[in-house]
A = this chain, B = another copy of it.
Amino acid sequence: MKAYLDCFLCFFIQALKTARLVTSDEKAILQILKDVSVYLSQASFDVTPSEIGLGVYRILSQRTGVEDPYKEVKERCIQQALSLYPELKRLIETSEDRLMTAVRLSIAGNVIDFGTGSSFDLKQELGTILSQDFAVNRYKEFRDALEKAQNIVYIADNAGETVFDRLLIEEINRPVIYVVREKPIINDATREDARLSGLGDVSEIMSSGCDAPGNILKFCSDEFLKIYGSADLVISKGQGNYEALSDEARPIFFLLKAKCRVVARNLGVEEGSIVLADARQERKE
């Protein structure tokens, strides 16, 4: 999926938000915004938002000297999600269609912004997602693919959401390779985040070698590409990975909430929709 005009604004919103997380020096932040301006004025928009975003976050790291601005946010997210784990596990165990409930929870994990949400909001969001209709629903295809799959690759998105992924992987109950970012980028999950979330007990954690906020194949390691190439089922979480992989014509199931209009438009759904999409079947603009 290529970047759209709205992404242009979003990069500045992200840059300002992240810079403010690291410093309160308004002059320094202004200079970062100006540096991002120069970068974007020269950037190609014929690539994915994730690829452009990588450059924005590199500017942020370089100018602030902080490699992982979301370190504390991520730790808090994981702890909050872990504290919910027993309750969510029971929810799955007592539901009629355990796999469907686990899929929904996994998407719920994608939507919740742990950085700002209180636990009250969290529960409300969970309730919404558990009953919300899918705008794209390839559940049957997903279940069928799961039954046949020998090599399952699960591409992670955010820290905290990782705990929700663990619940789904436990339901899948088959060998899964859980793929994380090579280095910290925004609040995306790294090896350490996955380990802290308990993914090491239920899957093999590996880095894709990519440190963009989306699993951009040309930035991935040969090791990952080999595993990805031989996977008969890929589960891709969140918008960033969707952006990076939406044009692939192979068995990838995208589990996400369309949080911005750019991704919603690309999927042909309303903003705010929840989606279980199949890369081989969905309409692309």
Contacts and interface: CB of A to CB of B under 8 A. Distances in A.
A37 B43 CA distance: 11
Do most interface residues of chain A lie in helix, strand or loop, or is the interface mixed? helix
A9 B5 contact: no
A5 B29 contact: yes
Contacts of A26: 4-5
Contacts of A33: 5, 8, 40
Size band of the interface chain A makes with B: 20 to 34
Give the copy number: 2
Contacts of A12: 8-9, 12
A41 interface: yes
Among the interface residues A34, A37, A42, which one has the most CB atoms of the partner chain B within 10 A? A37
A5 B4 CA distance: 24
Contact of A40 (B16, B34, B42): B34
A13 B9 CA distance: 7
A249 interface: no
Nearest 5 A-B pairs (CB), nearest first?
A37-B41, A37-B37, A34-B41, A38-B41, A8-B33
